[in-house]
């Protein structure tokens, strides 16, 4: 007998940890900006696996690169050199403008790696008293799920129950320049921050916030580390979000779309002076920089650049926002905002999940974040006509939501 949606969900719930609350849809196929469920129903993907699938689902170029490499060599560990990693690291260095790159796997690992580099650099090169360093982070941050990272989260669900927490982090308000300067003392190592807070609900700081942040970091000689795991690689309408602000962080963390979603790949890029604090044995990963990841990473980056995905995100992001404002804006919506194709609709009441269910019913897969916000972040290959169609469906979804919330 054919398994039903309920069968799949029950099975996952029976054998899996309940650490997610997915929408009740079971997907089986992807193609470009579309996803298909087990009954053949087609959906617009408006999440892109939290911005990992910027290059679109079932991307032929990426699959070809992966298969070619799979048939040759997929893992050596870093005990030996492989003939792919160098090309991958060089490519990242060239497009980011940093001298050195360390490859890892998940985003959280990338962030952990940056934290280790920042600490070691501060103790060895900046004369900060050993084991006393402080890294400043922002309220409502999201940097991943490891024990160290959740320890400096300000979200109760993310943090509570996982202590004792790693010391050495100081939390300040996001987008408040006075708070940053006040928080700095002789033990400050640097500021680790998202250039737009994605998981917090697409929170975009003032245009000049990060220019001022850069000035303060330079004034006090502290490091600025950008977590661009979600915002990087074209999502916000530039290859990197820092380019919007006319500054460059000292440390850049990438993940997600670095692989186009085919494989977990992350990295940290920085100067030679900073990266050189890592010496043999101080950090590593069995899978980081493996030949398969490297081949996929190279193809992913080439695809983003060749197909001008940042430019598309810039142009169509503005179009998408305008269309949403025109078609769905009403009294129950607080704001529609975004940068590039990282777009949020913030409701006045905590109804985002209900809206997402109605959107799913009309063929739009979007995800609620923090109860009031719905994020729209399609693959960056989306075309204008597809946005037109998607917005009509979104409009229908909102109409249905409004109808059922009145009754
Ligand atoms: C800004 C940011 N940092 C870190 C992470 C964690 O990445 P991963 O889930 O690959 O560990 C995420 C994931 O959503 C993210 O958005």
Is residue 142 lining ligand 1, measured as CB closer than 6 Å? yes
Find how far residue 210's CA is from the centre of its chain.
Answer: 19
Angle at 357 between CA 353 and CA 360, to 5 degrees: 135
Is residue 83 part of the annotated active site? The answer reads: no
Q: Are residues 221 and 294 in the same domain?
A: yes
141 close to 197: Cβ distance less than 8 angstroms: yes
The Å distance, Cα 331 to ligand 1 centre, comes to 33
What is the best residue among 255, 285, 342 to mutate for testing ligand 1's pocket, by most ligand atoms within 8 Å of CB? 255
Q: Are residues 41 and 68 in the same domain?
A: no
Of 238, 226, 289, 233, give the one whose Cα is nearest residue 261: 233
Looking at residues 81-89, what average pLDDT do you find? 98
Per-residue pLDDT band for 84 (boundaries 50, 70, 90) equals: very high
109 close to 102: Cβ distance less than 8 angstroms: no
Is residue 110 lining ligand 1, measured as CB closer than 6 Å? no
Q: What whole-number distance in Å separates Cα of residue 13 and Cα of residue 324?
A: 35
For 305-329, how does the pLDDT look when each residue is reduced to its tens digit (9 = 90+)? 999 999 999 999 999 999 999 999 9
Q: Which of 282, 306, 330 is the last residue in one of the domains?
A: 306
Can you tell me which atom of ligand 1 is nearest the CA of 145? 11
Assigned token pair, 85? 């990693």
Looking at residues 357-375, what average pLDDT do you find? 96
Looking at residues 242-261, what average pLDDT do you find? 98
Per-residue pLDDT band for 272 (boundaries 50, 70, 90) equals: very high
The single residue of 256, 323, 339, 372 carrying the catalytic annotation is 256
pLDDT at 407 over 80: no
Per-residue pLDDT band for 375 (boundaries 50, 70, 90) equals: very high
Q: How far is CA 279 from CA 99, 140, 283, 395, in A?
A: 16, 33, 8, 55
Can you tell me which atom of ligand 1 is nearest the CA of 106? 10
Residue minimizing CA distance to atom 8 of ligand 1: 107
Q: Which of 272, 306, 340 is the last residue in one of the domains?
A: 306
Is residue 45 part of the annotated active site? The answer reads: no
Q: What whole-number distance in Å separates Cα of residue 228 and Cα of residue 211?
A: 17
Domain that holds residue 380: 5-55+308-406
CA terminus-to-terminus distance, the chain: 38
Looking at residues 253-282, what average pLDDT do you find? 98
Contacts for 114 with CB less than 8 Å, ≥ 6 apart? 192, 225, 227, 251, 253, 268
275 close to 100: Cβ distance less than 8 angstroms: yes
Q: Are residues 109 and 141 in the same domain?
A: yes
Is residue 169 lining ligand 1, measured as CB closer than 6 Å? no
Q: Are residues 71 and 135 in the same domain?
A: yes
What is the best residue among 229, 235, 261 to mutate for testing ligand 1's pocket, by most ligand atoms within 8 Å of CB? 229
Q: Are residues 154 and 43 in the same domain?
A: no
Assigned token pair, 69? 């490499």
Q: Are residues 96 and 202 in the same domain?
A: yes
DSSP string, 46-97: SSHHHHT-TT-BT-HHHHHHHHHHHTT-----TTS--TTHHHHHHHHHHHHT
- What backbone phi and psi angles, to 5 degrees, belong to 320? -60, -45
Residue minimizing CA distance to atom 10 of ligand 1: 107
Looking at residues 327-341, what average pLDDT do you find? 98
pTM over 0.95: yes
Can you tell me which atom of ligand 1 is nearest the CA of 266? 10
DSSP alpha helix (H) spans, 185-290: 209-220, 272-275
CA atoms 155, 201, 264, 46: torsion sign:
positive
Q: Are residues 134 and 226 in the same domain?
A: yes
Is residue 111 lining ligand 1, measured as CB closer than 6 Å? yes
Q: Which of 246, 278, 306 is the last residue in one of the domains?
A: 306
pLDDT at 364 over 70: yes
Identify the DSSP state of 197.
B
**Which percentage of the chain shows pLDDT scores above 90?**
98
Assigned token pair, 56? 């679109």
Residue minimizing CA distance to atom 16 of ligand 1: 230
Looking at residues 15-32, what average pLDDT do you find? 97
Residue minimizing CA distance to atom 3 of ligand 1: 143
Instruction: State the CATH number of the domain containing residue 41.
Output: 3.90.1150.10
pLDDT of 406: 64
Contacts for 80 with CB less than 8 Å, ≥ 6 apart? none
157: enclosing H helix or E strand: helix 156-159
pLDDT of 141: 98
Looking at residues 263-275, what average pLDDT do you find? 98
Taking all residues of the chain, what is their mean pLDDT, rounded to a whole number? 97
Is residue 227 part of the annotated active site? The answer reads: yes
Can you tell me which atom of ligand 1 is nearest the CA of 50? 14
Q: Are residues 134 and 174 in the same domain?
A: yes
Q: Are residues 13 and 66 in the same domain?
A: no
Q: Are residues 258 and 401 in the same domain?
A: no
Is residue 175 lining ligand 1, measured as CB closer than 6 Å? no
What is the best residue among 143, 228, 370 to mutate for testing ligand 1's pocket, by most ligand atoms within 8 Å of CB? 143
Can you tell me which atom of ligand 1 is nearest the CA of 264? 10
Find where tokens 């939290």 sit: 50
DSSP alpha helix (H) spans, 172-308: 177-183, 209-220, 272-275, 291-306
What is the best residue among 105, 108, 259, 264 to mutate for testing ligand 1's pocket, by most ligand atoms within 8 Å of CB? 108
Looking at residues 57-77, what average pLDDT do you find? 98
Looking at residues 47-75, what average pLDDT do you find? 98
Q: Is the bond preceding residue 385 a cis peptide, omega within 30 degrees?
A: no
Looking at residues 93-107, what average pLDDT do you find? 98
pLDDT of 319: 98
Q: Are residues 275 and 159 in the same domain?
A: yes
The single residue of 45, 91, 120, 227 carrying the catalytic annotation is 227
Can you tell me which atom of ligand 1 is nearest the CA of 194? 1
Find where tokens 């060749």 sit: 306
Looking at residues 148-176, what average pLDDT do you find? 98
Buried b (16+ CB within 10 A) or exposed e, 259-274: bbbbbbbbbbbbeeeb
Instruction: State the CATH number of the domain containing residue 170.
Output: 3.40.640.10
Q: Are residues 259 and 329 in the same domain?
A: no
Per-residue pLDDT band for 282 (boundaries 50, 70, 90) equals: very high
Q: What whole-number distance in Å separates Cα of residue 389 and Cα of residue 395?
A: 10
Is residue 106 lining ligand 1, measured as CB closer than 6 Å? yes
3-state secondary structure of 14: helix
Is residue 144 lining ligand 1, measured as CB closer than 6 Å? yes
Strand order, beta sheet including 367-369? 333-339, 342-347, 373-376, 367-369
Is residue 255 lining ligand 1, measured as CB closer than 6 Å? yes
| Total of domains in the chain | 2
């Amino acid at each position: 007998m054919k398994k039903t949606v309920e069968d799949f969900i029950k099975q996952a719930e029976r054998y899996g940890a309940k650490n997610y609350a997915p929408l009740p849809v079971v997907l089986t196929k992807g193609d470009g900006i579309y996803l298909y469920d087990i009954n053949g129903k087609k959906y617009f993907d408006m999440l892109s696996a939290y911005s990992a699938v910027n290059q679109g689902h079932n991307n032929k170029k990426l699959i070809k690169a992966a298969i070619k490499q799979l048939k040759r060599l997929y893992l050596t560990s870093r005990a030996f050199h492989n003939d792919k990693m160098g090309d991958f690291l060089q490519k990242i260095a060239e497009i980011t403008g940093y001298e050195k790159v360390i490859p890892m796997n998940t985003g959280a690992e990338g962030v952990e790696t940056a934290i280790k580099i920042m600490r070691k650099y501060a103790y060895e090169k900046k004369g900060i008293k050993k084991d006393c360093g402080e890294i400043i982070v922002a309220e409502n941050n999201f940097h991943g799920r490891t024990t160290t990272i959740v320890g400096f989260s300000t979200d109760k669900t993310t943090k509570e129950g996982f202590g004792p927490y790693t010391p050495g982090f100081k939390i300040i308000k996001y987008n408040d320049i006075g708070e940053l300067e006040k928080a700095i003392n002789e033990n400050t190592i640097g500021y680790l921050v998202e250039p737009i807070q994605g998981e917090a609900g697409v929170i975009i700081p003032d245009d000049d916030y990060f220019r001022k942040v850069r000035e303060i970091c330079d004034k006090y000689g502290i490091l600025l580390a950008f977590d661009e795991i979600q915002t990087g690689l074209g999502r916000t309408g530039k290859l990197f979000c820092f380019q919007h602000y006319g500054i460059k962080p000292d440390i850049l963390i990438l993940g997600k779309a670095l692989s186009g979603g085919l494989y977990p790949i992350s990295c940290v890029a920085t100067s030679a002076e900073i990266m050189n604090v890592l010496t043999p044995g101080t950090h590593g990963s069995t899978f980081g920089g493996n030949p398969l990841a490297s081949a996929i990473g190279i193809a992913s980056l080439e695809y983003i650049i060749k197909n001008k995905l940042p430019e598309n995100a810039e142009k169509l992001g503005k179009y998408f926002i305008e269309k949403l404002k025109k078609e769905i804006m009403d009294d129950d919506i607080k704001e529609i905002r975004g940068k590039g194709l990282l777009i949020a609709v913030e409701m006045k009441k905590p109804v985002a999940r209900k809206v997402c269910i109605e959107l799913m019913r009309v063929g739009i897969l979007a995800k609620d974040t923090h109860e009031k916000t719905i994020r729209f972040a399609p693959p960056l290959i989306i075309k204008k006509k597809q946005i037109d169609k998607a917005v009509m469906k979104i409009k229908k979804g909102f109409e249905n939501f409004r109808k059922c919330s009145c009754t």
